[in-house]
Amino acid sequence: MAGAGLVIAFVVAVISFLVWVFQPTKTKRMLNQIPGPPALPLIGNAHMLKPGGSEFYQQILEYTQMFDKDGILRLRVGLQPSVALYKPETVEVVLHTKSHITKSQEYRFLHPWVGTGLLTSTGDKWKMRRRLLTPTFHFRILYDFLQVFNEQSAIMVQRLEKQVDKGEFDMFPFITLCALDIICDTAMGKHVNAQADSDSKYVKAVYKMSELVHRRQKSPWFWPDVIYNSLPQGKQQQECLQILHGFTKAVIRERQSVIRKKIAEEGPTEPAKDDLYAEGGKKRMAFLDMLIYAAEGGANMTDEDIREEVDTFMFEGHDTTAAAANWAVHLLGANPEIQQKVQDELDDIFRGSDRPATMEDLADMKYLECCIKEALRLFPSVPMFARTISEDCVIGGYDVPEGTTAVVVTAALHRDPDHFPDPEKYDPDRWLPENCASRHPYCFIPFSAGLRNCIGQKFAMKEEKVVVSSILRRFNIKSMQTRADLLPMGELILRPQNGIRVKLTRRQQ
Q: What pLDDT is stored for residue 135 in this prediction?
A: 74
Mean pLDDT of 13-40: 69
If you average pLDDT over residues 32-56, what whole number do you get? 84
Looking at the predicted structure, is the pLDDT value of residue 67 above 80? Answer: yes
Of 220-224, 364-368, 436-440, least confident by mean pLDDT is 220-224
- % of the chain at pLDDT higher than 90: 55
Answer with the residue of higher pLDDT: 438 or 47: 438
> Known binding site: residues?
454
Average pLDDT, the chain: 87
Distance of CA 66 to the CA centre of its chain: 27
- Other CB atoms within 10 Å distance of the CB of residue 160: 20
pLDDT at res. 278: 40
Could you tell me the domains of the chain? 25-506 (1.10.630.10)
Could you give the CA distance from residue 323 to residue 333 in angstroms, rounded to a whole number?
15
Q: Residue 274: pLDDT above 70?
A: no
What is the arithmetic mean of pLDDT over 165-176? 95
Closest by CA to 335, choosing from 425, 412, 469, is: 425
* Spatial separation of the C-alpha atoms in residues 178 and 181, rounded to whole Å: 5
Specify the range with the lowest mean pLDDT, choosing from 296-305, 473-482, 496-505: 296-305
Per-residue pLDDT, 286: 80
pTM of the predicted protein model = 0.89
- Is residue 279 within 8 A of residue 258, CB to CB? The reply is no
For residue 139, what pLDDT band results from cuts at 50, 70 and 90?
low
pLDDT at position 156, please?
97
Name the pLDDT band for 134 (thresholds 50, 70, 90): confident
Assess contact for 312 and 114: CB atoms under 8 A.
Answer: yes
Confidence class of residue 273 from pLDDT cuts 50, 70 and 90? very low
Q: How confident is the model at residue 271 (pLDDT cuts 50, 70, 90)?
A: low
Contact 21, 15 (CB under 8 A): no
| Beta bridge pairs of residue 405 | 82, 388
Mean per-residue pLDDT for 207-230? 86
Q: What local confidence, expressed as pLDDT, does residue 495 receive?
A: 92
Q: Does the pLDDT of residue 71 top 90, yes or no?
A: yes
Task: Answer for the pair 192, 181: CB distance below 8 angstroms, yes or no.
Answer: yes
Q: Which of 32-36, 286-290, 474-478, 501-505 is least confident?
A: 286-290
Please determine, for residue 6, whether its predicted confidence score (pLDDT) is greater than 80. no
Mean pLDDT calculated for residue range 432-450: 94
* Among 116-130, 143-157, 162-176, 195-209, the least confident range: 195-209
Q: Please give the share of the chain, as a percent, with pLDDT higher than 70.
A: 89
Tell me what the mean pLDDT of segment 29-38 comes to.
87
Q: Is the pLDDT of residue 83 over 60?
A: yes
**In this predicted structure, what is the pLDDT of residue 22?**
47
Whether the pLDDT of residue 290 is over 90: the answer is: no
Sheet with 169-170, strands from edge to edge, namely 169-170, 501-506, 475-479
Binding residues for heme: 454
Q: Which residues contact 239 (CB under 8 A, 6 or more apart)?
A: 205
Give kind and range of the element (H or E) at residue 479: strand 475-479
Instruction: Dump strand ranges (E) for 298-415.
Output: 385-388, 393-395, 398-400, 405-408
- pLDDT classification of 14: cutoffs 50, 70, 90: low
